[in-house]
Amino acid sequence: MEKFYTTTAIDYVNGAPHIGHAYEKILTDVICRHFSQRTSDAYMLTGCDEHGIKIQKTSASVGMQPQEFCDMNAAKFADAWKLLDINYSQLIRTTNPEHKKIVQKIFKKLVEKGDIYKHSYTGLYCAGCECFVSEKDLDENGFCPNHKAKPEVVEEENYFFKLTKYKDAIIKHIKENPNFIVPSFRANEVLNQLENIEDISVSRVKSNVSWGIPVDGDDNQIIYVWIDALSNYITALGYDTENPSEKFKKYWPADVQVIGKDILKFHSIYWLAILMALEIPLPKHILAHGWITIDETKMSKSLGNVVSPSSVMESFEMVEPDALRYYMATAAPCGKDGNYSDNDFKEKVNAHLANSMGNLLNRTLSMLVKYFDGEIKPEFVVDSPLFADCKKAIEEVKHHFNYYEVAEAAQKITELVDNTNKFVTDSAPWTLAKEEKWNECGQVLYTVLEVMCVVSSLIYPYCPNIASKMAKQLSYDLSTKLDDIEIKNIKVGKLISKEEISPVFLRLDSELADKSKK
């Protein structure tokens, strides 16, 4: 694998980031970090969607200019991703001059090609969705099911994109590539939507929506969100209709584009059609993740249950985000909805990260110091059936990531740790030491430490800080590619002293986990 390019949806900066935004970014970051262990060039794009009627209205309601409002909220998103150790390569904003210039070129090219035409239209417009909707898309009360609001009737002369021209090609691509949409069960949903697809509006009259990118040569029209926002995935790489950059040639097509299930239609239909019109290769995969509920209830400002990632970290006095990253990344099977609750969060991360994984490493190193002064002797180095489990776990984790099954991959890591804990219990090295069976005792400890080297590599995408602490105490090179991992990582000789041993993760309810008491 020469490169790996992944993208997130760009966040609408109409408010502050919440845990739903965090879920997508963590999921994408875990995927990208995993593939960075399999290639020398992994690139992750995220960004902010900053144009449209909602930004225009909200900024005015708080007495701010739209750009000033966008700058303020875009900073909040960037701060949130820094807090969560989201290791993105680039954050694009649709108010960037470079993006706006290329979007105008894309629009012009599609006009010249005959794929964009002007048309008078009367329809139902949902401001929340930023799109025209049909009556069949609404609930029994005539409300948008996603935003619980009635669309307004809009009559405008806009530019339209010939989406219907590419309908058959999109259907063909989805049917011929069953793994294109992940999870695959969502493909039928998209195919059903394609049955009644119509051409789409790709501009708004400036008198109704002034905050956006003007159509080059027609200042009375503002380029609509789908040409503007969706194009970020290629404008960020320096795509140009006349002379695409080397960066674009290197990274495009995207290996996977990670989005929420509510915008799958726009990415698997609108976006594909735009790319086909531009004669650009299609992304290899689109991963549509589910939603995160709070205590089994959908997040809602009116219910007052919107949770921010920073509030979770503050509530549990977390210095590092690994626990939240792990919990969110494993919150749901691939493509399904997940849930966040304080109690489940605490119980899960304490069980998996502190009690099972962290304690296994800590007590093994402590026994090595207690019985052998932290030294690995030559006679400790033996083969073990657990090493076959390690190799199997590496392949299983890679397999799940090939299908972007992040929670399922984590389960394989947990199983390896559980098997190793059982091995320790069954072998009882403390009993072997008591019986002065020193070689057998040392062999058990050595075996566990070898497994923990592999565990540190596998858990790294989820918990980079914990993995780094593990690797440091094991004198293990965490930059080792997954395909290059050898079982014999623990070297003969002094490994660690008592002073160098410390828990890699403290239980969230531990007094020691309270940073004010450290």
Known catalytic residues?
A: 18, 21, 126, 129, 144, 147, 298, 301
SS3 187: helix
What own/partner pairs with CB < 8 Å and gap ≥ 24 does 499-504 have? 500/473, 501/362, 501/365, 501/366, 501/369, 501/473, 502/469, 502/473, 503/354, 503/358, 503/359, 503/362, 504/357, 504/358, 504/361, 504/362, 504/466, 504/469, 504/470, 504/473
Q: Three-class SS of residue 4?
A: strand
Beta bridge partner(s), residue 11: 48
Residue type, 281: P
Could you tell me which residues come within 8 angstroms of residue 252 by beta carbon, excluding any fewer than 6 positions away?
5, 234, 237, 239, 280, 281
Task: State the Cα–Cα distance between residues 98 and 248, nearest whole angstrom.
Answer: 14
CA torsion sign for 34, 467, 407, 306 is negative
Q: Which residues pair with 45 in a beta bridge?
A: 7, 90
Instruction: Label the pairing between strands 152-161 and 200-201.
Output: antiparallel
Number of helical (H) and strand (E) elements in the chain, helices listed first: 20, 18
Helices 438-459 and 359-372: crossing angle in degrees, nearest 10, is 150
From the list 319, 313, 322, the residue with the least C-alpha distance to 342 is 313
Look up residue 297 and give its DSSP letter.
B
Beta strands 90-93; 42-49: pairing state: parallel
Would the CA dihedral through 208, 212, 215, 216 be positive or negative?
A: positive
Torsion angle (degrees, nearest 10) of CA 415, 419, 421, 424? -170
As a three-state string, the secondary structure of 488-508 is CCCCCEECCCHHHCCCCCCCC
Is 34 in contact with 483 (CB distance < 8 Å)?
no
Q: Are 162 and 126 in contact (CB under 8 A)?
A: no
Picking from 123, 155, 158, 119, the residue whose alpha carbon sits closest to that of residue 137 is: 123
**Considering only CA atoms, which of 496, 249, 261 is closest in space to residue 371?**
496
